[in-house]
Structure 1
Amino acid sequence: MTATDTDAYASPLLGLAGAVAADPPDSGVAAHYGDPMREQRRLAVDRMDFVDLSHRGVVRVAGPDRLSWLHALTTQDVEHLAPGESASALLLSPHGHVEHALAMVDDGEAVWMHVEPGTAPQVVAFLESMRFLMRVEVSDLSAEYAIRWEPTAEGVTAEGVTAEGTAEGTTDHLTRQGADSLGGREIFVPRSKLAETARRVVEAAGDTGSAAGVREAAGAGDTAAAAGPGRPAGLWAYEALRIAAHLPRAGFETDHRTIPNEVGWLGTAVHLHKGCYRGQETVARVHTLGRPPRRLVFLHLDGSVDRLPGHGAPVTHEDRAVGFVTSSARHFEMGPVTLALIRRNVPVDADLLADGVAAAQEVVVPPDAGLHVRPKLRA
C-alpha cells in the first residue's frame, strides 16, 4: 500500500477463499468472507476473531513538543496523555466543521494515530503546515503499518495497552483501546505481518484455506480458531457493530458542514473545558445555546424490504426531505439499521422513510442538545 493510491490497494487477506471486496472508500479489504451474519455474531457475542482495517491511514507524530502541540491543534485534551493512553480527537475548519477524525495513542516517544482511508496525506500536510518552531516530526507510515481490530474479553478496561496476548502472540505491537473502540482494540501491525496472518488463517482452516474449511475450523466449540490466529471477519460485521453503537465515522456521518455537536462527538472526541483550538468558537456557542442545526438519529428499518438505503439516500417526513442516510447495515439481532443526519426540528417520535423504506426513529442527539442535554451514545 502506498500513502495515496488506496484504490490500487489489496490486502493479503483478500486472497482468502470466500473473501468479497468492500466498496469505496473501503476498497482493499473484505466486506465479508462468505458468512457476514456469523462473522458479526462471533465478534459481538463470542468475542473472537479480528477485522482487517489495513486500508486505513497511519500517521506518527514524534518529538518532545508533540502533546502540547496536538493539544493546541485538536479538539481533545491530550497535553498530559500518558504512555499507553488512548484518545480521540478532531481537526476542525476555522468555522468548526469536521475535517478529520484522529484515533490516537501515545507510546512514550510518539503519538500514533489512524485515520480514514486515503486521508493520511491530507492530515500530514495540515500538521506540517502548523509546525512552525515546534519540536515535532510528522510521518505518514501508511505504507509500513496497518490496523487490525479485535474484540476484547468482557471486563477488559478501555485503556491503551500493549499488544501482549493478541492473536499474533507478540508484544511488539502498539494497541489503542478507547471509548470508541467498540469494546475492542485497534492494533498497529507492521504491514509485513499481513501475509503471515493470511497464511496462519489458512493453516488453521486445515484444507488450503477454502471458505468451507475456514468455517469448519471455526465451527462447534471454535477449537481451531481459539488455538490459532482467529478468523478474519469482514467490514460489514464491524460497520454493523459501529452503527448499532451510534458511533459516527468521518466521511459517513459528516459532510462539508457538519459540526461535532450534530453527531454526538462531544465528550468522546471533543473536550469542552480545554484551551482554544481552531473551530472552538462554533462548538462552544452551539453547546452553550443548544439546538444544533441537525442531529444524528438511529433508524430501525422495515425488515420486509430487501434492500438497504445507500449513503446519501434521502430521509423524508410527510413527503418532505428532512435529511440523508449516512450508514446502513444488517445487524445480527436488530435487523436492518441505519444512521441518518436530519433536521433538528423533526419531531423525535416522527415516523420517517429512508430511501422509501419505513423507519422508526431512535434519538442519538436530542433536538436541544447542548450544555444540559447530552447525546445518548450507547455504552
Structure 2
Amino acid sequence: MLLPLLPSPPPPYLPAMHVARLSSRAVVRVSGPDARAFLHGLLTQDVESLAPGALRFGALLTPQGRMLFDLFLWGEAKGVVLDVAADRRAALMQRLGLYRLRAQVEIAADDRPVLAAWPEAPAGFVADPRLAALGGRALGEVAVPDTDEAAYQAHRLSLGVPDPALDLDETSYPIDGGLDRLNGIDFGKGCFIGQETTSRMKRRGEIKKRMLPITFDGPPPVPGTEVLNGELRAGEVRTGLDGTAIALLRLDRLEGDLTVDGRPVRVRTPAWLEG
C-alpha cells in the first residue's frame, strides 16, 4: 500500500544579510619590532597574544581612567591595525606618538575601508568581538555594500549596544558604556593606562551609571536631553532613532515614572548586560 506523500517542512527562516561601509571609522597601522608590547602597555585589551587575523575590542583611556578612544584591534603578522572613529584618527596617532618614546614602532594611516555585515559574520568577515549578534567586521573591499551605515546603527541600537565614539565622551568611564560586558577590558592582562580606576570600579562594585537603551514614542530627543524621574535628573540621552535611544542613566533612579521631553520612557536591559 502506497502512503501519501507528506509535504516537505518549510526551510528555516534565514534573515537577510546586509553589508555596509562604516564611513565613521578609519584605520591606523602600528608596526615594528615593539608594536605589540607598546600597545599592550597602553590599551585595555591584551595585545601580545593577538593572533594574525584575530579581532579584539578595547580602548585607550586617560590616566584617570576616562575614555579617550574606543578601538578594534586587528592582528597582523608584523603589527596591529587599529579601527578608530574617523574624526579621531589624527588625535589617536598624535597620542600614540607621545607615548612612543624609544619604542621601535611606526604609526601610519591606513586607507582601507571598514565594513560591517549582519546579522552574522559571512566569509571574509571576522565576528564582532563585542557581541555575536552584531555580525562581523572586515577591512578592505571584501564585499559590496548593499545598505548604508544608518542601517547598521539601527541594528546596533536594536541590540542596546552603545557606540563609545558617539555615546561616550572624555568625562565617561569605559564601564559606563559596558566595555566590561562587551569584551573591551581584559582585567587579567596587567597594567594599562587608567587601570587602577577601572579595576577599582569593577572590583568594589562602584558602578553608578550605565548606558542603557530606552524606548519612547516619536522622534529621538536631542542628545544631552535630560531623562527625569519625577523632578529628579536620572540621566541624559545620547544617540538614537525614532522610538529608541541610548541614555546614560543613574542606576539608583531607574524605578518610577521616567520621562524625556514630557514623554514616558521605558528602560530596556539588554540580554548581554543581564546577570
Residue 297 (structure 1) aligns with? 212
Superposed counterparts of 1:196-345, under 5 Å: 229=144, 231=146, 233-267=147-181, 268-302=183-217, 306-330=218-242, 336-345=243-252
1:360 deviates by: 1.0
Structure 2 spans left out of the alignment, 5+ residues: 1-13
Q: Distance in 2 between matches of 1:356 and 1:234?
A: 32
Q: Distance in 2 between matches of 1:279 and 1:55?
A: 26
Residue 22 (structure 1) aligns with? none
Q: Distance in 1 between matches of 2:274 and 2:202?
A: 15
Residue 8 (structure 2) aligns with? none
Is 1:101–2:70 an aligned residue pair?
Answer: yes
Q: Deviations over 1:245-304 (max 9, x none)?
A: 2222124221222111222111411111121111111111111111323222221213xx
Q: Distance in 2 between matches of 1:278 and 1:242?
A: 28
The answer to whether the 8 A contact 1:350-1:361 is kept is no
TM (normalized to structure 2)?
0.85
In structure 2, what residue type is equivalent to 1:71?
Answer: H
Q: Distance in 2 between matches of 1:293 and 1:117?
A: 30
Structure 1 spans left out of the alignment, 5+ residues: 1-44, 157-164, 167-174, 198-228, 331-335, 366-373
Provide closer, same or farther for how the CA distance between residues 64 and 270 of structure 1 changes in structure 2, counting only shifts above 3 A.
same
**Aligned equivalent of 2:258, options 329, 352, 363:** 352
Q: Distance in 1 between matches of 2:134 and 2:57?
A: 15
Residue 376 (structure 1) aligns with? 274
1:176 deviates by: 4.2
Q: Percent of aligned positions with the same letter in both sequences?
A: 25
Provide closer, same or farther for how the CA distance between residues 237 and 354 of structure 1 changes in structure 2, counting only shifts above 3 A.
farther
In structure 2, what residue type is equivalent to 1:271?
Answer: D
1:47 deviates by: 3.5
Q: Distance in 2 between matches of 1:132 and 1:253?
A: 32
Q: Distance in 1 between matches of 2:136 and 2:120?
A: 11
The answer to whether the 8 A contact 2:18-2:119 is kept is no
More strand by share: 2
Residue 130 (structure 2) aligns with? 180
Is 1:83–2:52 an aligned residue pair?
Answer: yes
Matched residue SS, 1:255: coil
Q: Deviations over 1:287-332 (max 9, x none)?
A: 1111323222221213xxx3222222211110222211112124xx
How many residues end up aligned between the 2 structures? 260
Q: Deviations over 1:124-176 (max 9, x none)?
A: 111111112222111122xx22112122658x7xxxxxxxx55xxxxxxxx54
Q: Distance in 1 between matches of 2:73 and 2:197?
A: 24
The answer to whether the 8 A contact 2:45-2:184 is kept is yes
Q: Distance in 1 between matches of 2:55 and 2:229?
A: 40
Please say which of residues 45-54 and 289-298 is displaced more in the overlay. 45-54
Is 1:140–2:109 an aligned residue pair?
Answer: yes
In structure 1, what residue type is equivalent to 2:153?
Answer: E
The answer to whether the 8 A contact 1:104-1:176 is kept is no
TM (normalized to structure 1)?
0.63
